[in-house]
Structure 1
Amino acid sequence: MLIDRDTLRHRLETATRHLETPLAVVDLAAFDDNADRLTARAAGKPIRVASKSVRCRALLERVLARPGWRGVMAYTLPEAIWLVSSGVTDDVLVAYPTADRAALRELTGDAKLAGAISVMVDHPSQLDLIDRVAPPGDRPEIRLCMDLDASWKPGGSVHIGVRRSPVHSARQAGELARTIAERQGFRLVGMMSYEAHIAGVGDAPPGRALRARAIRLMQSRALPELLDRRAAAVRAVREHADLEYVNGGGTGSVAVTSADPSVTEVTAGSGLYGPTLFDAYRSWQSTPAAFFALSVVRIPAPRMATVLGGGWVASGPAEASRLPMPYLPAGLAFKSDEGPGEVQTPLLGAAAERLRPGDRVWFRHAKAGELCEHVNQLQLIDGDTATPAPTYRGEGHAFLG
């Protein structure tokens, strides 16, 4: 979807002129367009929505109502319980292992929850923790998903990718599957492998041609290795478990992961909002859908305008790619020795010359769902009207706070 920035700015301003800043919005037309284009890239395989990239129940329900989207990938067990209990979904995969004993007691004390939620494991000690919370004879069978490490290890101590599961080889996957099969009270129903070094690393970082070539070379070699190893791991696991799903990928790899015959479903979430980190991909370009607005409060010098607040910095390595982007009006930049500040942010550029106190600057966040940790509501923009929808924070939940 092509964006005329002046038209977009006018529409956002018109829809939210009765509201005070700071405020965050999601443009529903762009959100829906992103959802449909991700579905097309999945080529018939269902997409599980990554809730951490959305963090708003109304928008989770909206995308799950669209063709091609099925189930939620949650990031904590308490969140998964809340989503099932509130009727958002009856199919949740918790993407990370849990040590939340209270949540495990709730899960094991409710047959409906136990039938709807898959808990992530990558080591027998995680089974021991669950058994200590609720002995196997006194609880429903617990659905499990195995996390297969998708990182690339070309030799020696070289490790390319995020540090996740200790289960890397097909042999290790088969051994863990056999261990689970021998344990009372557990059923291995799923397998997941997240290729973060492919799905989560843009291969076209702006102004960094050498880095781009290095990333593309790495990905061209890492992907074939993963495809072979994942297929072997799935075969090894299926000797001990009747898998309902094999999950893989993320927004940045929906097409290539969907083409893997061993994968039955893919995951996406960030692509719905279109944060700036995904501007650095050749294979996928989201339509920017999520924005936040801050008000100009002072004009400290010519060609400079200062907004109140602004330090909405994303997680990850401390580098410029994690900073928000001043987007509307076009032509604004941070002051290099200040950047986005906790309580004020000076902005430079020709566009600053035309700004006055009370005007707004619209930003894009570097990541998707983290935007929602700063506001209690998202304003859902439909045409030139805005409808509020609470974020997780607005509903009183900070699952990783």
Structure 2
Amino acid sequence: MPYGDRVDREALRTRLDTATADLDPPLAVVDLDAFDRNADDLVRRAAGRPVRVASKSIRCRTLLERVLRRDGFAGVLSYALPEALWLHGVWAGTDLADTDLLVAYPTADRAALRALAADDHAREHIAVMVDSVAHLDFIDIALGPDHPPVRVCVDLDVSWRPVFGDRRVHIGAQRSPLFDVAEAAALAARVRARRGFRLVGLMGYEGQIAGLGDAPVGNPLLGALRRVLRRGSVPELVRRRAAAVEAITRGGPLDYVNGGGTGSIEETGSDESVTEFAAGSGLIGPALFDNYRAFTPDPAVLFALPVVRRPGPGVATVFSGGYTASGPANRLRLPSPHLPAGLSLIGTEGAGEVQTPVTGPAADALAVGDRVWFRHAKAGELAERFTGYHVLEADRITGIAPTYRGEARAFG
């Protein structure tokens, strides 16, 4: 059921405004009830296979720890080696000390590699990503000869490359150069044959499915085109990834085969070679994830901005708000007014660094000091704007969950 059909927006606004009445915006809130519902839904969709939490979409240690302690979740898909080292260090001596951390992107951080090599326990629980011999060479140069074994995962490109006429088209993220089964198997063999490395996994992120909603709000034609893309892409990538796993495991077993994202768990699940899913945005429920048919997460993190001006009829201006998401520079990357219902950004200004005007039927009822609640377009990036999320449990604020920024950590 679409989010808007199952949630009383005005009741939610009253709940948020009442719970935060003693706090001054700008502020951000994490609704733990919504967060937990989203976690339950990811486990349901994963249908028995574990979900590795994508930390890039969370960037809040309190929330990472909360979800990792739930059944159905295992391991972290980290986005930077220094981040993985930090998480491993702060979890030492806790029940999360043995959490498996896979760094999703190749690293060129020599200091972090040296820290990894120097920590026996970290090396047993952190794996770095490689997609070429150049990555192995870089690690060797950074660590010197005879370095201790570094766990690595091979990144398989699972984009779709259909042929139209006499032209092959690349549909998906520009990630790994390893597209063919033989290329992936050859690199895996090179890793196994090379001193100082241990192959533990294979990863394939199908961004053309996981990151593109198949039911974009207000654009049924685009949704139809994306569903065609899914129907064409999924069978090809399932065959190719399964063949790559078969070829690689002839040389020895893998600890895991990681696939998917929040937006593609059902499709990725049709590939029996995948042993675990990666997901994180589905826990937060950002605005871009309103555009899928198979699931609709609840917005678990929202931020409030105060009305500071009433420049004219039908317009209210809030302080700050220019929290633009990464990706193609378009309106879909802008934060969206959520509460009260019936507000939208103004096309000539969008979301501004120091002020953001909103317009619509609800604007005339807003007074200076009132709050407008927004949703960010993407999940984890809001954490770069706030030092902490105020924790909403039931109808009251029970504390603050520091973001990475609030713990003086920045990894990108």
Normalising by structure 2, report the TM-score: 0.95
The one of 187, 204, 220 aligned to 1:176: 187
The one of 187, 196, 212 aligned to 1:201: 212
Whole-Å Cα distance in 2 between the matches of residues 272 and 234 of structure 1?
A: 29
Match of 1:399 in 2: 411
Whole-Å Cα distance in 2 between the matches of residues 206 and 44 of structure 1?
A: 31
Match of 2:150 in 1: 142
CA deviations 1:46-83 (Å, max 9, x no partner) are 00000000000000000001110000000000000001
Match of 2:162 in 1: 154
Supply the RMSD in Å over aligned alpha carbons: 1.1
Question: Counterparts of 1:53-132 in structure 2 under 5 Å?
Answer: 53-87=57-91, 88=96, 90-132=99-141
Q: CA deviation at 1:243?
A: 0.3
Match of 1:38 in 2: 42
Q: CA deviation at 1:171?
A: 0.5
Whole-Å Cα distance in 1 between the matches of residues 352 and 31 of structure 2?
A: 26
The percentage of counterpart residues that share the same residue type is: 56
1:383 maps to 2:391: no
Whole-Å Cα distance in 2 between the matches of residues 275 and 289 of structure 1?
A: 8
Question: Counterparts of 1:2-401 in structure 2 under 5 Å?
Answer: 2-87=6-91, 88=96, 90-137=99-146, 139-155=147-163, 156-386=167-397, 387-400=399-412
CA deviations 1:260-317 (Å, max 9, x no partner) are 1010000110011100101111112111111000000011101111000111111011
SS in 2 for 1:398: coil
SS in 1 for 2:244: helix
Q: CA deviation at 1:136?
A: 4.8
Partner amino acid for 1:69? F
Whole-Å Cα distance in 2 between the matches of residues 208 and 201 of structure 1?
A: 13
Q: Which runs of 5+ in 1 are unaligned?
A: none
SS in 1 for 2:218: coil
Whether the 8 Å contact between 1:99 and 1:129 is mirrored in structure 2 is: yes
Partner amino acid for 2:239? D
CA deviations 1:15-66 (Å, max 9, x no partner) are 2111111111110000000000110100000000000000000000000011
Whether the 8 Å contact between 1:331 and 1:351 is mirrored in structure 2 is: yes
SS in 2 for 1:350: coil
Partner amino acid for 1:108? A
Whether the 8 Å contact between 2:238 and 2:270 is mirrored in structure 1 is: no
Whole-Å Cα distance in 2 between the matches of residues 341 and 61 of structure 1?
A: 33
Whole-Å Cα distance in 2 between the matches of residues 241 and 109 of structure 1?
A: 27
Partner amino acid for 2:316? A
Normalising by structure 1, report the TM-score: 0.98
Whole-Å Cα distance in 1 between the matches of residues 134 and 314 of structure 2?
A: 59
Partner amino acid for 1:152? W
Q: CA deviation at 1:209?
A: 2.2
SS in 1 for 2:324: coil
Q: Which runs of 5+ in 2 are unaligned?
A: none
Q: CA deviation at 1:191?
A: 0.4
Partner amino acid for 1:399? F
Whole-Å Cα distance in 2 between the matches of residues 226 and 147 of structure 1?
A: 14
Whole-Å Cα distance in 1 between the matches of residues 286 and 349 of structure 2?
A: 22
Q: CA deviation at 1:157?
A: 3.3
Higher mean C-alpha displacement, 10-19 vs 192-201: 10-19
Whether the 8 Å contact between 2:234 and 2:267 is mirrored in structure 1 is: no
Q: CA deviation at 1:258?
A: 2.2
SS in 2 for 1:380: strand
Higher mean C-alpha displacement, 114-123 vs 203-212: 203-212
Whether the 8 Å contact between 1:188 and 1:242 is mirrored in structure 2 is: no
CA deviations 1:85-143 (Å, max 9, x no partner) are 01055210000000000000000011011111010000011111111121352x32110
CA deviations 1:201-235 (Å, max 9, x no partner) are 00111222222111111110110000000000001
Whether the 8 Å contact between 2:152 and 2:201 is mirrored in structure 1 is: yes
SS in 2 for 1:145: strand
Partner amino acid for 1:123? S
Whole-Å Cα distance in 1 between the matches of residues 48 and 35 of structure 2?
A: 20
